[in-house]
Structure 1
Amino acid sequence: MSERNYRAAIIGTGAIAHAHARALQDAAGRVSLVAVADVDAGRAGEFAAGYGRARAYGSAEELLRAEELDFVHLCTPPRLHAPLAVTCLEAGVTALVEKPPTLSLAEFDTLIEAERRTGAYVATVLQHRFGPGAVRLRRLQEAGELGRTLLATCATQWYRDEAYYAVPWRGTWESEGGGPTMGHGIHQFDLLLSVLGPWSEITAVAGRQARSVETEDVSMALVTFENGALAAVVNSVVSPRQTSELRFDCERGTVEVEHLYGYTDDDWTVTPAPGHEDVQALWVKDRSEESSGHASWLAAVLDALDQGQAPPVTTADARRTMEFIAALYASAFTGERVRSGQITADSPFAQRMDGTGARWRNA
Structure 2
Amino acid sequence: MTEAGTEGRGIRVAIAGTGGIAGICHIPALQGEAHRAEVVAAMDVDAGRVKTFCDEHDIPAAFTDLDRMLDEVRPDLVHVCTPPVAHAEQVVACLRAGAWVLCEKPPCLSLAEYDRITAAEGADGSGGPYAAIVYQHRFGSGARRMRELMAGGELGRPLVAQCVTAWYRDHAYFEVPWRGRWDTEGGGPTLGHGIHQIDLMLSLLGEWSEVRAMAGRLDRDVQTEDVSMAMVRFGSGAMASVVNSVLSPREESYLRFDLTDATVELRHLYGYRDADWSYTPAPHVAAARAAAWTAPARAGGADVPSSHGAQLTALLDCLERGERPPTSGAGGRQTLEFVTGLYKSALTGRPVSRGELVPGDPFYRRLHGDTPGWAPEVGP
Give the AA of the match of 1:285.
P
**In the alignment, is residue 13 of structure 1 matched against residue 18 of structure 2?**
yes
* Contact kept? 2:273, 2:305, Cα under 8 Å: yes
Aligned mates of 2:86, 2:113 — CA distance in 1: 11
Aligned mates of 1:163, 1:323 — CA distance in 2: 30
Sort the Cα spacing of 1:285 and 1:116 in 2 relative to 1 into closer, same or farther, 3 A: closer
- Deviation per CA, 1:7-58: give whole Å up to 9, x if none: 1110000111011111000111121111111111121111112223432111
**In the alignment, is residue 74 of structure 1 matched against residue 80 of structure 2?**
yes
**Which residue does the alignment assign to 2:214?**
205
**In the alignment, is residue 159 of structure 1 matched against residue 199 of structure 2?**
no
**1:361 Cα deviation from its structure 2 partner:** 5.6
Q: How large is the RMSD of aligned CA atoms in angstroms?
A: 1.8
Aligned mates of 1:85, 1:211 — CA distance in 2: 31
- 331, 340, 357: which is aligned to 1:317? 331
**In the alignment, is residue 262 of structure 1 matched against residue 271 of structure 2?**
yes
Sort the Cα spacing of 1:149 and 1:346 in 2 relative to 1 into closer, same or farther, 3 A: same
**Which residue does the alignment assign to 1:285?**
296
* Contact kept? 2:12, 2:40, Cα under 8 Å: yes
**1:362 Cα deviation from its structure 2 partner:** 8.1
**1:243 Cα deviation from its structure 2 partner:** 0.4
**Which residue does the alignment assign to 2:348?**
334
- Deviation per CA, 1:236-266: give whole Å up to 9, x if none: 0011110000011111111111111000011
- 60, 63, 66: which is aligned to 1:57? 63
Which runs of no fewer than 5 residues in structure 2 stay unpaired? none
Bigger Cα displacement from structure 2, 311-320 vs 208-217 = 311-320
- 115, 122, 139: which is aligned to 1:130? 139
Bigger Cα displacement from structure 2, 118-127 vs 12-21 = 118-127
- 124, 145, 150: which is aligned to 2:154? 145
Give the AA of the match of 2:18.
T
Aligned mates of 1:335, 1:289 — CA distance in 2: 43
Residues 215-230 of structure 1 aligned to structure 2 (within 5 Å): 215-230=224-239
SS of the residue corresponding to residue 325 of structure 1 reads helix
**In the alignment, is residue 104 of structure 1 matched against residue 110 of structure 2?**
yes
**Which residue does the alignment assign to 1:189?**
198
| TM-score, structure 1 normalization | 0.96
Bigger Cα displacement from structure 2, 349-358 vs 320-329 = 349-358
Aligned mates of 2:321, 2:256 — CA distance in 1: 33
**Which residue does the alignment assign to 1:231?**
240
SS of the residue corresponding to residue 155 of structure 1 reads strand
Give the AA of the match of 2:224.
T
* Contact kept? 1:13, 1:75, Cα under 8 Å: yes
- Deviation per CA, 1:185-240: give whole Å up to 9, x if none: 00000000000000011000101111010000000110000111110000000111
**1:4 Cα deviation from its structure 2 partner:** 5.4
Give the share of equivalent positions with the same residue, in percent: 51
Aligned mates of 1:321, 1:20 — CA distance in 2: 22
Aligned mates of 1:161, 1:12 — CA distance in 2: 24
Give the AA of the match of 2:71.
R
**Which residue does the alignment assign to 1:87?**
93
- 111, 115, 124: which is aligned to 2:121? 115
Give the AA of the match of 1:215.
T
Aligned mates of 1:111, 1:29 — CA distance in 2: 30
SS of the residue corresponding to residue 355 of structure 2 reads coil
Aligned mates of 1:255, 1:4 — CA distance in 2: 43
Sort the Cα spacing of 1:362 and 1:38 in 2 relative to 1 into closer, same or farther, 3 A: closer
Residues 162-181 of structure 1 aligned to structure 2 (within 5 Å): 162-181=171-190
- Deviation per CA, 1:164-186: give whole Å up to 9, x if none: 00000000000000000010000
Give the AA of the match of 1:189.
I
**1:3 Cα deviation from its structure 2 partner:** 7.3
- Deviation per CA, 1:124-161: give whole Å up to 9, x if none: 11101001111111011001110101111000010111
Sort the Cα spacing of 1:100 and 1:362 in 2 relative to 1 into closer, same or farther, 3 A: closer
**1:358 Cα deviation from its structure 2 partner:** 5.8
**In the alignment, is residue 300 of structure 1 matched against residue 314 of structure 2?**
yes
**Which residue does the alignment assign to 1:344?**
358
Count of residues paired in the alignment: 363
* Contact kept? 2:257, 2:263, Cα under 8 Å: yes
* Contact kept? 2:17, 2:43, Cα under 8 Å: yes
